[in-house]
Structure 1
Amino acid sequence: MIKIKFSTIYFLLTLLLFVTEVSIATKLKDIFFVRAYLGDVIVVMLLYTFIKSFFVINRNDQLIAGIFIFSCFIELAQYFNIAERLSFRPGSLMYIVIGNSFSWIDILCYAAGCLLMFVFLQIKIKKDNLN
């Protein structure tokens, strides 16, 4: 069951991750590993915290799987040049958000980010159950 409820903690985490993503895209763009890989690992975490900011979802594994599928869908849309087909100009916000080049490595980065979220949440659940 999904309930609508605002979470300040998840919203603050979302803002922190968003600022991190913007920093990666603007200030750290010259550091190849960070720009090419870390941003894609973090973006799935950003999506997770954003959704959890507004919804109570008990099945985190399903949410993470849904975020991974969504990310793969966006990556596949890049293969078909969806940003250009939607007439977004290169450099525009939507062009940057959607992306413009398909990469299997990006999908691996999304998978890594989802796996990290899943492992972190499993550790948190076990810790919470011990207390």
Structure 2
Amino acid sequence: MPRLRYGLAALAVFAVEVLIALFVRDAVVRPYVGDVLAVVLVYLGLRAVTPLKVMPAAMLALAIAVMVELGQLFHLLDALGLTHDRLARVVLGGVFDIKDLACYGVGAACLLVGERRWT
């Protein structure tokens, strides 16, 4: 049953991320809150489909986010020939920003605090 709750929470966070991507055009929520939530979304997805415990899932979610950001730094989309693929650009992003790494750290910290509170 816990995995179902994580799965439902992942769907809810995904819906929020989609709403942010489609309707928010500002200087705070879209670039920063969206990145914080991205780590939370990956974490919730991992907890829904794997037996990983809190800390390993949080560290893996953070590592995935950092690897995606580093992929942007090293122009991974170009190397894979996916520069013009809209889905790839949405999932992997296109522009490296060091501030995104801080957002991912905040997201990981928030999910750890949340886990401590609700378990």
TM-score with structure 2 setting the length: 0.91
Q: Which residue of 2 aligns with 1:10?
A: 6
Distance 1:83 1:19 in 2: 25
SS of 2:95's equivalent in the other structure is coil
Structure 1 counterpart of 2:21, one-letter code: A
Residues 35 and 100, structure 2, Cα contact 8 Å, conserved in 1: yes
Q: Which residue of 2 aligns with 1:33?
A: 28
Q: Which runs of 4+ in 1 moved over 4 A?
A: none
What residue ranges of structure 2 are gaps of 5+ in the alignment? none
* Structure number with higher helix proportion: 2
SS of 1:68's equivalent in the other structure is helix
Query: In the TM superposition, what is the alpha-carbon distance from 1:31 to its structure 2 partner?
Result: 1.9
* Structure number with higher strand proportion: 1
Query: In the TM superposition, what is the alpha-carbon distance from 1:105 to its structure 2 partner?
Result: 0.3
SS of 2:82's equivalent in the other structure is coil
The answer as to 2:45 corresponding to 1:50 is yes
Distance 2:49 2:112 in 1: 19
Identity %: 26
Aligned CA-pair RMSD: 1.7
Match for 2:92 among 98, 105, 110?
98
Q: Which deviates further from its counterpart, 15-24 or 80-89?
A: 80-89
Q: Which residue of 2 aligns with 1:128?
A: none
What residue ranges of structure 1 are gaps of 5+ in the alignment? 126-131
Aligned residue pair count: 119
Query: In the TM superposition, what is the alpha-carbon distance from 1:6 to its structure 2 partner?
Result: 8.2
The answer as to 2:119 corresponding to 1:115 is no
Distance 2:28 2:9 in 1: 23
TM-score with structure 1 setting the length: 0.83
Structure 2 counterpart of 1:51, one-letter code: L
